[in-house]
Amino acid sequence: MLKKFFLLVSILLTASSVSADVRLPNLIHSNMVLQRDMPVRIWGWAEPGETVNVSFHGQSFKTIADQNGCWEGRLPPMSADSAGKPMLIRGDKELHVLENVVVGEVFFCSGQSNMEFYVRRSVNGDKEVAAANYPDIRILHGSAYFASTIPERDLPRTWTVCSPESIQAFSAVAYFFGRELHRNLNVPVGLIHCSQGGTKIEPWIGINGFKSRPALRRTFDLLQETIPGTPAYQRRMESYLDEQKKWLEEARRAIDAGCSVPPLVKLPGKMRVSSSNQACVLFNTMVVPVAGYTIRGVLWYQGESNVVDGALYKEKMHALVSSWREAFEQPELPFLLVQIAPYAYGDTNLLPTHWEAQQNFVREDGRSYLTVINDLGMQREIHPPMKQQVGARLAALAEKYLFAQAGVKADCPMFDSCRKRDGALEVKFSGAEALKSGDGRAIKYFEISGKDGNFLPAEVVLNGACAIVSHPRIPDPVHVRYAWTHRIESPNLVNEAGLPAAAFRYSVPE
């Protein structure tokens, strides 16, 4: 349960941090967006035993701070409302009045540098910034930019109203997603952004995520030494204290003898932060503080730093998603994912294998949805600036799967099945009714081979949701692949909505 995160944080904090004043996290602040149609959690800190009353828009609850100084409660589900209203939070001695609070849709947006990529750096960034007057879009740039082996309880910033001044250094993908959603649903949208460039997926995973996947269980076992109260932590700290005691004795003898003092014994590496890419350390600083907030879903754009993982990335995605769902106490929390763009990573198989892992995760998870952007890549630029399209494609996924909007075309074509057909292979795609060439030219990047594995570019005939691929020198093809290289530019296989097809590989069973 989420409470255990905050209980651990409270125990780790010093007693002097508790006062008689009711205190609120930066997420509970003026200008915030509350999630519509769901019970909304409100929480904070106070003197143990202090009574706290919360009221908003005719709804209220009363609670009492527990022995650790933590309090929480939930407002009942509310409909969307863009008329900003005050929220009153009253303790025994203090009243907080939070102004301009609205009700709408809230999303948590995270990942590495392509999620962090600023609005002003996107295509036509200056014009996009100048036009960003959307008082019903509220943003919180909560990236903490530090790592910790213990959970934190707050983010460094608070909510602001979307404006040209506030949006320019905000996540472009998050903003363009939120703008599209706001326009199409006509409700307030709240965007909580926490990301950090250059980070792998491991620091974003909660410890129980590693426990949930057998392929990652060793990482979970090693992490036990970093958690206060576990037997492994106790053993390691007892050993460390013994080493410190021995050092003190040796240092005293050295001083008495007029000799140099031996080097100080350092805290074991696993018990201190030496890198932002250590397991769990960003989950602790940028996910745990958000996990109390009621949200509709998550946007996740990450993977460039894990492109060498191959199929193992699928396991890490399962670990991340399960640990976040546990932290948010939302077992069905949906994830909207961006498949990373083409880029010259070195080995041409690295990127397509990573794409395959992302797609396999989505197929297995059931509550995650993927958008493909292989048409937006730039071989020598790992940060393609066309973030408007990325945000719009994510918004379409949300509209179709989270809000059941009729007629929305959101799915990119993905491999569904393949069968032999008269010396050719017929490949069927999901996410398409009528495949077509996006530029009117012959379809690129299909390759087939016989049993020898010598691939040749295929001739392609499109028929509805199927691509029939062949080559005159391969009378009995058994292997087929599409866009199976990082060296792709402007792939032109798209569906009726113009969305690009995802890479795949397949071998016909013997």
Strand 479-482 relative to strand 446-449, pairing: antiparallel
* 76 and 139 in a common domain: yes
Report whether 166 contacts 218 (CB < 8 A): no
**Rounded to a whole number, what is the largest CA-CA distance in the chain?**
92
- Distance CA(389)–CA(393), nearest Å, equals 6
* 14 and 141 in a common domain: yes
User: For residue 248, with 0-12 CB atoms within 10 Å meaning exposed, 13-18 middle and 19 or more buried, which class applies?
Assistant: exposed
Q: How much is the average pLDDT of 313-317? A: 98
Higher-confidence residue of 259 and 122: namely 122
In a domain, 211, yes or no: no
**pLDDT score for 270:** 62
Q: How many domains does the chain have?
A: 3
Structure-block tokens of residue 479: 């292997």
Final residue in a domain of this structure, among 252, 271, 290: 271
Q: How much is the average pLDDT of 282-287? A: 96
**pLDDT score for 185:** 98
Q: Is the pLDDT of residue 13 over 80?
A: no
In a domain, 171, yes or no: yes
Strand 160-162 relative to strand 297-301, pairing: unpaired
Final residue in a domain of this structure, among 367, 402, 437: 402
Tens digit of each residue's pLDDT (9 = 90 or more) over 193-235: 999 999 999 999 999 999 999 999 988 888 887 766 677 777 8
The whole domain housing 495 covers 414-507
* 176 and 323 in a common domain: yes
- 315-324, 338-347, 396-405, 495-504: the lowest-pLDDT one: 338-347
* 230 and 190 in a common domain: no
* 187 and 137 in a common domain: yes
Mean pLDDT of the chain: 93
Structure-block tokens of residue 149: 């082996």
Final residue in a domain of this structure, among 381, 402, 423: 402
SS (H, E, C) 90-157: ECCCCEEEEEEEEEEEEEEEEECHHHHCEHHHCCCHHHHHHCCCEEEEEEEECCCCCCCCCCCCCCCC
* 180 and 130 in a common domain: yes
Q: How much is the average pLDDT of 432-439? A: 97
Q: Is the pLDDT of residue 16 over 50?
A: no
Tens digit of each residue's pLDDT (9 = 90 or more) over 439-462: 999 999 999 999 999 999 999 999
* 369 and 258 in a common domain: no
* 297 and 152 in a common domain: yes
Q: Is the pLDDT of residue 277 over 80?
A: yes
**pLDDT score for 3:** 46
**pLDDT score for 244:** 86
pTM for the whole structure: 0.91
CATH number for the domain spanning 51: value is: 3.40.50.1110
Helix (H, G, I), strand (E, B) or coil at 38: coil
* 388 and 426 in a common domain: no
Most confident of 138-152, 174-188, 268-282: 174-188
Q: How much is the average pLDDT of 496-504? A: 98
- Distance CA(491)–CA(80), nearest Å, equals 40
Residue located via tokens 């363009």? 176
Identity of the amino acid at 236: R
Identity of the amino acid at 269: G
SS (H, E, C) 446-486: EEEECCCCCCEECEEEEECCEEEEECCCCCCCCEEEECCCC
In a domain, 182, yes or no: yes
**pLDDT score for 162:** 98
Tally of CA atoms within 13 A in the half-sphere of 136 that contains its CB: 18
In a domain, 215, yes or no: no
Tens digit of each residue's pLDDT (9 = 90 or more) over 320-364: 999 999 999 999 999 999 999 999 998 889 999 999 999 999 999
